Structure 1
């Protein structure tokens, strides 16, 4: 429980400085956080947390990057 509280506190602090970041960066950050939480919940160990964070960050970056590309012509 303490790990989750620490992760959420860090994420809240990092999230407050994300206003100027691209969707790809925001997606990687959010995906990594969600993936880490899911990996910890499923694996209940450090390896599961790290795998979840890596996969989540990669997927989040990919989705955010596609959003950035689609909005690039709309400015």
Structure 2
């Protein structure tokens, strides 16, 4: 089950290349969420709450890292 979740997350990250109309901040948010979801899953042994929590935290971090200047 853990391998399936990891492969699904990797496939999701690779499919982000097709999102050419996304801004760089949108892409960073999506990549951060994907990486955070994988990390949360790994750190909590595949827990759904850990995966969702990791995706949320990763998305916020990805969004803030590539924030456009004001």
TM-score relative to the length of structure 1: 0.78
Structure with more helix by fraction: 1
Q: Which runs of 5+ in 1 are unaligned?
A: 71-75
Q: Which of 9, 12, 26 is 1:10 aligned to? A: 12
Q: Is the 8 A contact 1:26 1:64 kept in 2?
A: no
**1:43 maps to what in 2?**
44
Q: Which runs of 5+ in 2 are unaligned?
A: none
Dislocated runs of 4+, deviation >4 Å: none
